[in-house]
Amino acid sequence: MKFFATYLFVFALLYQTVGQLAVIAYFRANQAVIASTKCENREKPKLKCAGKCYLTKQLKNLEDKQDSKKASKEGKTELLSYVSSKLTALAPFVKEKTSTVFNYLTNSSIAHLSDVFHPPSF
């Protein structure tokens, strides 16, 4: 089950980054079926479309999805800049943590042994 989840996760990442290649590979593998069933110009054989209209439509849909994801990320960037500007306005009211310094008269420890431990020999 772990391997299945791993492969599924890797496939999802690769499909996201190489989406156009996957759409083109699917089109090439099924071009005859797409040309006969999904092509808008199948009644016009003089155009020699062979399903390319379907391919361009799928690539445009993929590009629109990626553009919408980029637009949503830009909105998040604006929100972060707004929040950071509000936090810098509060900076004069934030008290900085000061470290305390302990000065001991002697640098000794109770747990310190004066001589080295040697295990017994038999």
Res 8: pLDDT: 87
Whats the size of the chain, residue-wise?
A: 122
Cα dihedral 6, 7, 10, 12 sign: negative
Could you read off the pLDDT tens digit of each residue along the chain, which spans 122 residues? 778 889 888 887 776 677 788 888 888 888 888 888 888 877 887 878 888 888 888 888 888 887 777 666 655 655 556 655 655 655 566 666 677 766 666 666 666 666 777 888 88
Res 49: pLDDT: 84
Separation in Å, CA 25 to CA 18, 20, 102: 11, 9, 70
